[in-house]
Structure formats: C-alpha cells, structure tokens
Amino acid sequence: MGKANVNDDVVNNGTSGPESVKLTPSWEDRNLPAAELNLRGLECDLDKAALDMDPPPDRWNLVYLTFILHGIGTLMPWNMFITAKDYFVVYKLGQEYTGQSLTYAANFLQFLGFASQVPNVIFNWLNIFIQIGGSLSTRIIGGILVEVAIFVLTVVLAMLDSSQWPGVFFWTTMGSVVILNMAGGIYQNTVYGMAAKLPFKYTGAVVLGSNISGTFTAVINVISLALAPNARTSAIYYFIAALFILLACFDSFFALPLNRFYRYNEQRIKRQEQEKSVASGGIKARPPYWMIFKKCYPQCLNVFLVFFVTLSIFPAVYSDIKMVDEEFIIPQRYFVAVCCFLSFNFFAMVGNMLPGLFTWPGPRWLWIPVVLRVLFIPFFLLCNYQPLGVTRALPVLIANDWAYWIGGIFLGITSGYYSSLAMMYCPRTVEPEYAATAGMFGAACLITGIFGGINFSLIMPILVESISF
C-alpha cells in the first residue's frame, strides 16, 4: 500500500502534481523565507557600513613595508647592472682580461640602457591595455621567477672564464638583459597598479623602495669591492645578493592576501566595481583609457620629466666625471662607487621620504621645479666630465670635486622627492575605480622617462667634444 502511494507520487510529480522537495547541501540557503533573506542582506549592509566607518589599520605597517620591498625588487635588475659598471667594462670586457681593445667596453652603459629600457617601455605600455599573462598574481609571480632565472645565469657567467669569447659574453649579457627587463616591465607596472588601489602613500612606498634599491646595490657594491679578493668574486657575491632580494619579494607577495588591511581595500575596490557593473546592467566595459589619461597626464608629464633629466645625467655622465684633486677625502678607488652611485641613490631615497613630512608644491604647481631641474644638465657637463675615447673641447668650468659631489646630492634629493610627489598625485586625479589604471600610466611614463633620458645621454660626449668657447 505504501509502495503504491510512493509510485502515485512519482507519477503525479512527473505530470501535474506538486513539485517534490529536493534536498541538497545548499537547499536551505536557496529556500530561505523572504523575511530572513532581507535580514541577511541587512546584516551584510551593516557589516560593510561598519567596515567603511572603521576600516582595519595597517598593523605594524606590514603592507607599507611589503610595497617598499617590491619597490626595491622592481628596479633591482637595472641598478645591479649599472652599478657593476667596472665589473663589465674594466674586468670582463677590459683589455687586460681579454687581450684586445673592444668597442663593447667604451659603449657598455649605452648598450645596457638600450637593451634594458626598450623592452621595459614596450611591456609597461602593453600591460596597461592588454591583460598579459592573466591576473595580477600571475604577472607578478611570473615576472619575479624570470628575473631570478636571469640572475642565476649572470652568476654562472661571472664564474666562467670568458676571456676567449668576449663577444659571446657581451651579447649573452645583452640578451639576458632584454629578457630580464621584459619581465621587469610587467612586474613593475603591475606593482604600481596594485599600490594604486590602496591609500596614496602606498604608491609612495613603491617609489621609496625603488630608491632604496639603488642605495642597497651601491652599498653592496662598496662592500664587495672592499671584501672580495678580486673582481670575479666580488661580482658573484654582488649578484647573489640580488637573488635573495627577489626571493624575499616572491615570498612577501603571498603574504599580502593574509593581511586584513589589504583584503579590506581589495574588497572595497571590488565592491565599487560590482556596484558600477550593476548600474550598467552587468556589462563590463573596458576602462575609458583616454578619459583617464586626460585627467592624469599633467602628473604623468611630471613623472616623465623628472626621470628624463635624471637619466640624462645618471649614470652615464655622472660616472664619467673624474676626480680633480688627488687629495680629495674619498680615495680614487672608491670615488665613483661612493660619490656617484652611493651618494645619488642614498639622497634619492632621502628625497623620497620627504613627502611623508610635507607635500609641496601641490599638483597644480609641481611642474615648475620639475622643469627647472633641466639646469642640472649643463651643470654636470661643465664639471670634469671625461667620457672614454673622447677628447674634450668644452672647457671645464667646475673643476671642484666638492661642487660635483654637492650637485649630485641635490640631483638625488630632487629626483626622489619630485618623482614621489608626481607618482602619488597621479592616481588621485581620477575616480577610485580608475586609480589602478592611472597608477599604471604613471609607471609607464616613469619608464619612458628613463628610456628617453638614457638615449639623450648618448649626445653628451658629442656636445663636450664639439662645443668650445
């Protein structure tokens, strides 16, 4: 009898009878009474409101320090190679080691700059408009792993005797630099995009880290010169240090989602995007790139000009300014390492910290001191600038090591300070949901400024050789 009733129910369910209840693990959530659904929605809204009114703090500044670390990692490849100029020019490509005079040595920094910045510029701009490699996580992880692999190759090349094949060594180095900066361009641009989703000081943290990167590599260079018995061992220690920094960046990236402050800001941006998506009928539109760029281009131009002027001078011109006084306080052996690389990078880092104390001028007037920095170019050309293989015709009007050193200090401070201000102002010129794109525009203009400055530095030897009065 009971069996017949069950069969009747089945028949009825298949035709016109009431629908049977199907129990699944999510049944209760899908079949809640309307009153309870409304109550849950109200609780969610109250939770969001509570978070908005009392957002979690960045405890112990862990997220801030993490973005400083990633700032160090983004410019580590570039700083490592330019600071190791003597290793490449004097040792690996030098006449004493190879037994021949090579054009590679005379133009090494120019070749290095071109190989570094062409892929960096291309991939920074592509990264804004094209989803290269998928999510932000994929791009950052992939970028760091490629950089680690290239530094391992660089250490291996330092261990090998390349005196019989300097051409192969040079072009292998240039090829590795191209790949390194393809990965670095994506990594750097993505880090700025992530930082732009947070309060604006976190973009400053990335810029601060990039300047600490220069100081760190300069200090490691001085230490390796002092402790290592020869150039080969010094280079091995030096490049291994870069590996440790990149591995630290890799580990710290996975710690970010565990931080409540970072999760809160990430969810806040997602919530804004979802609200906008609902308002637009669920159609996910591409960011209005032209509108975003029109709003942030004044600060993008400031970023470009700061780095254009800085890289027109540093490192190509700055590192070829020779000591005038043999009794100067810094010995000849350490003159370039200390007065050029260490001083510039340290004071650029100091300048980068200053926006934490004050931010002047504001976004409207920042262009004035940025444009005035162009005066640094003639100042350093009138110092004792002696590029390799060039007979100088331009008179040396600033034949004073102290003047050169103090000028370099001001170059570093203004570079760090004004670049930080411009990069911090850039995401604030647009709506919060477009801040990441504006931050990526700023990062792309930063790299474009570096590229433009490096190429402009190529005409400096021509100027001092052809101008006389």
Contact 357, 440 (CB under 8 A): no
Contact 269, 197 (CB under 8 A): yes
Per the rule left: phi > 0, alpha: psi between -120 and 50, beta: everything else, 328 is: beta
Q: What is the dihedral of CA 279, 281, 286, 289, to 10 degrees?
A: -40
Element (H, E) at 432: none
> How many Å apart are CA 71 and CA 447, to the nearest integer?
14
CATH 1.20.1250.20 fits 62-279+290-466, yes or no: yes
Domain range list for the chain: 62-279+290-466
Q: Is the peptide bond before 315 cis (omega within 30 degrees of 0)?
A: yes
What per-residue confidence (pLDDT) applies to 182? 84
What per-residue confidence (pLDDT) applies to 3? 46
What per-residue confidence (pLDDT) applies to 48? 55
Name which of 362, 406, 401 is nearest 383 in CA terms. Answer: 401
> How many Å apart are CA 273 and CA 286, to the nearest integer?
12
> How many Å apart are CA 298 and CA 296, to the nearest integer?
6
> How many Å apart are CA 225 and CA 94, to the nearest integer?
17
What per-residue confidence (pLDDT) applies to 169? 94
Name which of 222, 403, 390, 254 is nearest 323 in CA terms. Answer: 403
Structure tokens belonging to residue 196 = 């732009």
Task: Give the list of residues 6+ apart from residue 404 with CB closer than 8 angstroms, or none.
Answer: 321, 339, 380, 383, 384, 398
> How many Å apart are CA 115 and CA 180, to the nearest integer?
10
Residue 385: φ, ψ to 5°: -80, 115
Q: Is the peptide bond before 361 cis (omega within 30 degrees of 0)?
A: yes
What per-residue confidence (pLDDT) applies to 328? 95
Name which of 300, 249, 253, 294 is nearest 124 in CA terms. Answer: 300
Question: CA-CA distances (angstroms) from residue 70 to 148, 324, 446, 447?
Answer: 14, 39, 16, 16
Q: Which long-range contacts (CB under 8 A, 24 or more apart) does 119-122 make?
A: 119/178, 119/179, 119/181, 119/182, 119/185, 120/181, 120/182, 120/184, 120/185, 120/188, 120/447, 120/450, 120/451, 121/185, 121/444, 121/447, 121/448, 121/451, 122/185
**How confident is the prediction along the chain (469 residues), in pLDDT tens digits per residue?**
444 444 444 444 444 444 444 444 344 444 545 444 444 444 445 445 555 556 788 889 999 999 999 999 988 887 888 888 888 988 898 888 888 877 788 778 778 888 888 887 887 788 788 755 456 778 888 889 999 999 999 999 999 999 999 999 999 999 999 998 888 888 887 898 888 888 878 988 888 888 788 888 888 888 887 887 777 888 888 888 889 999 999 999 888 888 888 888 888 877 777 777 666 665 666 789 999 999 999 999 999 999 999 999 998 899 999 999 999 999 988 899 899 999 998 999 899 889 889 999 999 999 999 999 999 999 999 999 998 778 999 999 999 999 999 999 999 999 999 999 999 999 989 988 888 889 889 989 998 998 999 889 989 999 999 998 8
Question: Distance between alpha carbon 292 and the CA centroid of its chain, in Å?
Answer: 21
Name which of 422, 151, 141, 144 is nearest 296 in CA terms. Answer: 422
What per-residue confidence (pLDDT) applies to 285? 67
Contact 191, 203 (CB under 8 A): no
Name which of 330, 333, 309 is nearest 418 in CA terms. Answer: 309
> How many Å apart are CA 140 and CA 142, to the nearest integer?
6
Contact 240, 456 (CB under 8 A): no
Looking up tokens 């490049």 gives 239
Q: What angle do CA 184, 221, 109 make, to 5 degrees?
A: 55
Task: Give the list of residues 6+ apart from residue 378 with CB closer than 8 angstroms, or none.
Answer: none
